[in-house]
């Protein structure tokens, strides 16, 4: 269906006008983004999002050979949506030692990974120098491998504990071997909603300021949004609009990853999880609205393999990576894949079944291998 067919269809004039802007590669407004969430049929959203995907990335769908390392789930914060964090000594808590982490890195390097992803709880006793030394040890063990580490929430705490500005803190970590930072901890930027779901941790403005500081230090990052809890569509679009504005300024975001709220074992468990239809709607609107983000990622351990495959028709061009059975953030929240690990062959199968071209990538989206 092209724009001429849309004009002849029963699609409203308001939505037709949005389609014309998208097909002309013109930016849609906040109001138009909300309208897409509220009024557009799923097939209409798929059409527009798929156009955006193909315009940016052709038919490539990216994945990476990676490992996720979670040094600890001991955390000074207790967010109401979180199934992961524990206090020291509490049942279910863990603290990996540096030798344990290095042992996992050695194992993963032997499997040919490209990226080491490190995130965890905000440990009350670990400061900037602890994590800088950890990065140095990882880099010694895995020279040439990309290290993506620490959410803005972790960084805010470690910088503050060490009395460093954001710029000073990033200079220390970059010198130690940090290559990029992930997008976690963004949750939802609306302070009204944030106060209700994670009121005692870093604000949305702090998250944005830390990523801006990283970008200014030459450290690229990803961005996320937690959706499907107590927020509404206007809160989602406000979140996307703030990310789009920062990307206009720095151009250093690599990918955007919508993260679905999962309702097991946390203080918001009375909330019903949103449907797969809503997941796909959200992917599509995010792809259409974030016109300056090169990549949209579906994080398969969070939504499962079948929904991940469906998402490839709704603007998604990246499905993360092999993971190596090494993340517990979503398994503790009740997701279907309790041991998240996929081989490159399995990732290829997901992609090729959706009639896309599998592209193994590095952390900066340089293609390493096709098919």
Q: What is the span of the domain harbouring residue 143?
A: 51-367
Query: Containing H/E element for 110?
Result: helix 98-110
What's the pLDDT tens digit per position in 201-250? 999 999 999 999 999 999 999 999 999 999 999 999 999 999 999 999 99
Give the number of C-alpha atoms closer than 13 A to the C-alpha of residue 279, restricted to the C-beta side.
25
Could you give the CA distance from residue 367 to residue 58 in angstroms, rounded to a whole number?
13
pLDDT of residue 169: 98
In a domain, 174, yes or no: yes
Please provide residue 166's backbone torsions phi and psi, each rounded to the nearest 5 degrees.
-60, -45
CB crowding 67-76: b at 16 or more within 10 Å, else e: bbbbbbbbbe
Check which CATH number belongs to the domain holding 360 and give it: 3.20.20.70
pTM, 2 dp: 0.93
In a domain, 64, yes or no: yes
* Residue 56: partners with Cβ closer than 8 Å, 6 or more residues away: 294, 295, 317
> How would DSSP label each residue in 122-183?
--TT--HHHHHHHHHHHHHHSTT-EEEE--HHHHHHHHHHTT--HHHHHHHHHHHT--BB--
Residue 20 forms part of a structural domain: no
Looking at residue 83, what is its pLDDT?
81
Is residue 120 domain-resident? Answer: yes
Is residue 26 in some structural domain?
A: no
For the chain, give the mean pLDDT. 92
Task: Assess if residue 25 is contained within a domain.
Answer: no
What integer pLDDT is reported at residue 327 of this predicted model? 52
Q: What is the pLDDT of residue 324?
A: 62
Kindly state whether residue 84 falls inside one of the protein's structural domains. yes
How far is 46 from 24, CA to CA, in rounded Å? 17
Among candidate residues 194, 173, 171, 77, the one with its CA nearest the CA of residue 127 = 173
Q: Report yes or no on 8 lying in a domain.
A: no
pLDDT at 348: 92
Over the chain (371 residues), the average pLDDT of each successive run of 10 is 71 94 97 98 96 98 94 90 82 90 92 93 94 98 97 97 97 98 97 94 97 98 97 98 98 97 86 96 98 96 92 96 60 49 87 96 96 79
CA distance 48 to 277: 16
Q: Determine the pLDDT at residue 333.
A: 43
Q: How many domains does the chain have?
A: 1
Residue 218: per-residue pLDDT: 98
| Token pair of 268 as six digits | 């918001």
Query: Collapsing DSSP states into helix, strand and coil, what is residue 369?
Result: strand
Q: What is the largest CA-CA distance in the chain?
A: 65
């Amino acid at each position: 269906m092209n724009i001429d067919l849309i004009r002849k269809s029963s699609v409203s004039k308001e939505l037709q006008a949005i389609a014309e802007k998208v097909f002309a590669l013109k930016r849609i407004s906040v109001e138009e983004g909300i309208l897409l969430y509220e009024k557009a049929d799923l097939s209409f959203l798929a059409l527009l999002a798929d156009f955006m995907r193909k315009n940016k990335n052709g038919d490539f769908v990216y994945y990476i050979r990676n490992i996720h390392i979670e040094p600890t789930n001991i955390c000074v914060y207790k967010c109401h949506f979180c199934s992961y964090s524990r206090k020291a000594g509490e049942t279910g808590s863990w603290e990996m030692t540096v030798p344990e982490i290095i042992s996992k890195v050695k194992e993963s390097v032997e499997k040919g990974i490209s990226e080491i992803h490190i995130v965890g709880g905000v440990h009350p006793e670990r400061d900037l120098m602890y994590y800088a030394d950890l990065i140095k040890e990882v880099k010694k063990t895995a020279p040439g491998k990309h290290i993506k580490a620490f959410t803005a929430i972790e960084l805010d705490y470690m910088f503050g504990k060490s009395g460093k500005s954001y710029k000073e803190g990033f200079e220390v970590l970059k010198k130690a071997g940090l290559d990029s930072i992930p997008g976690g901890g963004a949750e939802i930027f609306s302070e009204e909603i944030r106060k209700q779901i994670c009121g005692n941790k870093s604000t949305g403005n702090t998250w944005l300021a830390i990523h801006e500081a990283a970008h200014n230090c030459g450290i690229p990052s990803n961005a996320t949004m937690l959706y499907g809890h107590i927020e509404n569509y206007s809160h989602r679009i406000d979140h996307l609009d703030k990310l789009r504005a920062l990307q206009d300024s720095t151009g250093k975001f690599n990918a955007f990853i919508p993260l679905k709220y999962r309702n097991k074992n946390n203080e918001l468990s009375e909330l019903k999880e949103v449907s797969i239809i809503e997941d796909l709607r959200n992917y599509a609107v995010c792809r259409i609205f974030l016109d300056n983000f090169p990549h949209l990622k579906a994080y398969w351990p969070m939504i499962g393999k079948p929904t991940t495959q469906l998402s490839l028709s709704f603007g998604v061009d990246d499905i993360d990576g092999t993971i190596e059975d090494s993340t517990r953030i979503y398994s503790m929240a009740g997701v279907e894949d309790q041991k998240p690990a996929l081989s490159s062959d399995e990732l290829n199968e997901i992609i090729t079944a959706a009639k896309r071209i599998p592209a193994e990538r590095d952390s900066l989206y340089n293609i390493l291998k096709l098919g």
